[in-house]
Amino acid sequence: MEREAAELFEEFKELTASEFFRRNKQMLGFSGKIRSLTMVFHELITNSLDAAEEAGIRPEITIDLKRVGKDHYILKHSDNGPGIPEAFITKVYCTMFAGSKFRNIQSRGQQGLGCSGCVLLSQMTTGKPAKVISGYHEGEKLKGMEMTFKMDVKKNQGLILSQEPVDVKSSGVSIELHFKDVSYSLSEQGAFEYIRRTVIANPHAKIRFRDPTGHKYIFDRATDIIPPLPKEVLPHPRGVTADDLIFMAKHTDKRRFRSLLTTSLSRMSTKRVNEIQKSTGIDLDKRPKDMKWEEAERIVDLFSRMDFMAPPTSGLIPIGHDQIEKGMREILTPEFVATNTRNPKTYRGGVAFIVEAGITYGGESGRIVGDQKRAEIMRFANRVPLTFDQGSCAITEALKSIDWKRYGIRDLDNAPITVFVNLVSTNVPYLSTGKQSVAPEAEILHEVRQATMKIARSLQKYLRAKKAAKEEELRSKIFESLVPVVIREAALLAETDVPEYDAVLAKVTRRAKFEGIQLNSEVENE
């Protein structure tokens, strides 16, 4: 009983991106109650931070999570960013694969899926519309717009239910979403820990959070410095493929391939272009659309053999070793901190990245499991906490590959330390749609190891010095208690008065006391 093709293709259809993700919400990271809520926090916080920074505003976020039933919450999330113009509100929240971040720029979000994913999840679990108030400047005027809308999944666009101008006091977006089948948790993968880690990696941000019990947390700024705005950088010749060149050529408005090269790639001077023309024999004065694949391939092949300056790093803004220290001190109140920001490197030949790392000991460092302290590994990409898929992440792999015994730590799992690693790049090589783990590129593994081993050495020095100082202190104590006895007895024997010895004793023993050791914040780079 064979069936023919036409019959089998009767049911052929095309889905919109929204329909696709409605059927595959786990691909947006929405799987499991705790993880789903953490992903919502992640998407909204990420967008607020990006928007504020892009507009040159010190980010301030207020989150209110109310529990209205079992696994049922109402989330209000507000920021002080530049707001969203009326025409873009439903596009941002209801159209998947839409966004303003598809550029070669270091930003937290990149995929045009985050906000619309949250609205989709809300709608799928509660059927409730989203409510947004956007305040934004239009020239001198401050406009305010309140909107309620649903997502039309079949059309991948918004369906506005109500819309009216409102008075706002400042720019910013406020969104209210209902969720069911999600769960607020204090665990390592829960929403609270997500906020805590965000604050550590973003000491310039202020976050107010009211949790479902009504408790208010205020995570204040540890610094007033706004990180400089990352610049959009042109791709480095070593980072482009033949397909990229053809794609650029197809969609450019330049009239010659020569000018496409100099305006679309970094480190590409007229002199360089002339060299390319000479070396490949390809006429670069031709129209971009006439560029053939084989020619593009020959150019890319030549790129790999030419000497270029490293990619411009103006596009990369690390947190900075001092800011990481501030963030970790504020939240972890440790007795020891060491941090380290490495110099920019590249992976895959032309994608620039920076690794920075921090390590703390004591205070709130580590995490408590049962009645034991375990090591806590905090992974970040462009300041965004990565909370899931730890096992497959290059950062975890690099940390586990370090021989911690050499640094006086018997095993990483059971040490009362917190290790912080942030990967900064215009193009973080995520392993999955959920953006929760980094691909194991050899150069990234190397840099994470180097950054961490350096601060591990500092920790080792600190721990050694602390141990030595403790022993010294013990000796001093013995000294302090014995010397007076000896002096008194000697005076008695000599039948003289007991002399004034306090000052002298203090002078002698003070040297041996542990006064803290200046090993913090290793900053040199090799």
Q: Which of residues 204-263 bind its own copies (CB under 8 A)?
A: 241-243, 246-247, 251
Class of residue 285 by CB neighbours under 10 A (exposed 0-12, middle 13-18, buried 19+): exposed
Closer CB to its own copies, 110 or 341, in the complex? 110
Q: Smallest distance from the beta carbon of 337 to its own copies, in angstroms?
A: 32
- CA distances to 309, 367, 416 from 411, in Å: 41, 15, 10
Q: Rule CB under 8 A: choose which of 47, 62, 95, 346 binds its own copies.
A: 95
Q: Smallest distance from the beta carbon of 434 to its own copies, in angstroms?
A: 7
The dihedrals phi and psi of 125, each to the nearest 5 degrees, come to -100, -20
- Return the residues of window 2-61 that contact its own copies according to CB under 8 A: 2-6, 8-17, 19-20, 22-24, 26-27, 31, 51, 54-57
Q: Does residue 58 contact residue 48 with C-beta atoms inside 8 Å?
A: no
Which DSSP category does 113 fall into? Answer: -
Closer CB to its own copies, 111 or 450, in the complex? 111
Closer CB to its own copies, 81 or 311, in the complex? 81
Residue type, 314: S
Q: Smallest distance from the beta carbon of 11 to its own copies, in angstroms?
A: 5
- CA 465 to chain centroid, in Å, comes to 33
Q: Rule CB under 8 A: choose which of 30, 41, 136, 192 binds its own copies.
A: 136
Output the six-digit token pair for 496. Answer: 């003289």
Q: Does residue 209 contact residue 203 with C-beta atoms inside 8 Å?
A: no
Residue type, 480: E
Q: Smallest distance from the beta carbon of 131 to its own copies, in angstroms?
A: 16
Q: Does residue 143 contact residue 87 with C-beta atoms inside 8 Å?
A: no
- Return the residues of window 163-192 that contact its own copies according to CB under 8 A: 171
Q: Does residue 145 contact residue 84 with C-beta atoms inside 8 Å?
A: no
Closer CB to its own copies, 173 or 222, in the complex? 173
Residue 325, helix vs strand vs coil: helix
- Identify the CA nearest to 28 among candidates 100, 96, 88, 94: 96
Q: Rule CB under 8 A: choose which of 154, 155, 289, 510 binds its own copies.
A: 154
Q: Rule CB under 8 A: choose which of 102, 255, 279, 468 binds its own copies.
A: 102
Stretch that binds its own copies, among 80-88, 268-276, 363-371, 474-482 (CB under 8 A): 80-88
Q: Smallest distance from the beta carbon of 94 to its own copies, in angstroms?
A: 12
Stretch that binds its own copies, among 99-107, 307-315, 409-417, 478-486 (CB under 8 A): 99-107
Q: Rule CB under 8 A: choose which of 67, 76, 128, 256 binds its own copies.
A: 128
Closer CB to its own copies, 232 or 283, in the complex? 232
Closer CB to its own copies, 183 or 520, in the complex? 183
- Return the residues of window 273-302 that contact its own copies according to CB under 8 A: 293-294, 296-297
Closer CB to its own copies, 361 or 430, in the complex? 430
Q: Smallest distance from the beta carbon of 424 to its own copies, in angstroms?
A: 19
Q: Rule CB under 8 A: choose which of 392, 414, 509, 521 binds its own copies.
A: 392
Which DSSP category does 81 fall into? Answer: S
Q: Does residue 26 contact residue 181 with C-beta atoms inside 8 Å?
A: no
Q: Rule CB under 8 A: choose which of 63, 98, 132, 248 binds its own copies.
A: 98
Closer CB to its own copies, 76 or 298, in the complex? 298
Q: How many CB atoms lie within 10 A of CB 37?
A: 26
Which DSSP category does 111 fall into? Answer: S
Stretch that binds its own copies, among 259-267, 316-324, 351-359, 388-396 (CB under 8 A): 388-396
Q: Smallest distance from the beta carbon of 201 to its own copies, in angstroms?
A: 23
Stretch that binds its own copies, among 59-67, 100-108, 314-322, 483-491 (CB under 8 A): 100-108
Output the six-digit token pair for 190. Answer: 């829960």
Residue type, 486: V
Closer CB to its own copies, 1 or 494, in the complex? 1
Whole-angstrom distance, CA of residue 438 vs CA of residue 377: 14
Closer CB to its own copies, 245 or 459, in the complex? 245
Q: Rule CB under 8 A: choose which of 71, 74, 88, 443 binds its own copies.
A: 88
Long-range contacts of 187-191 (CB under 8 A, 24+ apart): 187/34, 188/367, 188/376, 188/387, 189/34, 189/35, 189/38, 189/387, 189/388, 190/34, 190/37, 190/38, 191/34, 191/37, 191/38, 191/40, 191/41, 191/65
Output the six-digit token pair for 482. Answer: 């014995």
**End-to-end alpha-carbon separation of the chain, Å?**
72
- Return the residues of window 308-367 that contact its own copies according to CB under 8 A: none
Q: Does residue 113 contact residue 97 with C-beta atoms inside 8 Å?
A: yes
Closer CB to its own copies, 62 or 107, in the complex? 107
Q: Rule CB under 8 A: choose which of 59, 112, 117, 239 binds its own copies.
A: 112
Q: Smallest distance from the beta carbon of 197 to its own copies, in angstroms?
A: 21
- CA 223 to chain centroid, in Å, comes to 17
Closer CB to its own copies, 51 or 324, in the complex? 51
Whole-angstrom distance, CA of residue 470 vs CA of residue 472: 5
Q: Smallest distance from the beta carbon of 280 to its own copies, in angstroms?
A: 16
Find the largest Cα–Cα distance for the chain.
Answer: 123
Stretch that binds its own copies, among 136-144, 192-200, 398-406, 498-506 (CB under 8 A): 136-144
Quote the radius of gyration of the chain (alpha carbons, Å).
29
Closer CB to its own copies, 178 or 221, in the complex? 178
Whole-angstrom distance, CA of residue 158 vs CA of residue 100: 17
The count of chain residues that interact with its own copies, using the rule CB under 8 A, is: 77
- Return the residues of window 422-461 that contact its own copies according to CB under 8 A: 429-434, 439
Output the six-digit token pair for 218. Answer: 């205020």
